[in-house]
Amino acid sequence: MYYIMKMLPKRDKIFSTGNLVRMAVLAAIASVLFLIEIPVVAFYKLDFSNLPVLLGAFSMGTLPGVIILAVKSVIGLLHSSSSGVGELADFLMGAAMVIPASLIYHHSKTRKNAVIGMLTGTMCMIIVSVFANKYIMLPFYMGAYHMDMDAILAFAGVKAVNSEWKLLLLVTAPFNLLKGIALSVVTALIYKPLSPVLHEKRA
């Protein structure tokens, strides 16, 4: 706990005017990206809404990143089709990636640590995604649409998947691996060029 608290920036630095403006802009961009989805496999769709979250967490710190993520999720409630359940699961999976990634990066701000952080965050997101889907998303959709697991599997439309755990391990986990890698690659490509506008300017 001491290690984590030591790496968090001071409150006045986090909530400086410049950082608040950047957090608001990044949260707005994340909310727009949340609406743009790319179908990948079964009912899973790829979006890049956590890209601004990662950029904010890397440039301003872990707490600002989580705040951006939370604002994105709250705004997502305005057009939620899952009574907020999907937004909750998205927040948990986003936090699972962003928190370890930013903590590792801020321990020593090097390209190597950024890569290690995002890989670690991706692994954490995969684990959380499996349990978030098992205990939050799948039960919600089965209850909301009066479907049993056989109907969910049929809807997924993947021939090799014939059980819940196969769905989670052969579809959910690989999809989130793809998502984590995609977010990491794009973040690595654009973070440095955007660095001047992402960081607080010193007088």
Residue ranges of the chain with per-residue pLDDT less than 70: 1-12, 200-203
Q: Do residues 183 and 51 lie in contact, with contact meaning Cβ atoms separated by under 8 Å?
A: yes
Q: What integer pLDDT is reported at residue 3 of this predicted model? A: 46
Domains and CATH numbers, the chain: 2-35+47-197 (1.10.1760.20)
pLDDT value of residue 11: 59
Torsional class of 201: left (φ above 0), alpha (ψ -120 to 50), beta (otherwise): beta
Percentage of residues in the chain with pLDDT exceeding 70?
92
Q: Which residues contact 91 (CB under 8 A, 6 or more apart)?
A: 69, 70, 73
Structure token pair of residue 158? 């993947």
pLDDT at 201: 61
Question: What pLDDT is stored for residue 203 in this prediction?
Answer: 43
Per residue in 81-105, pLDDT (tens digit) is 888 888 999 999 999 999 999 999 9
Residue 200's pLDDT is 65
Long-range contacts formed by 149-157: CB under 8 A, 24+ apart: 155/42, 155/43, 156/42, 156/43, 157/42
pLDDT for position 197: 86
Structure tokens at 190: 């654009």
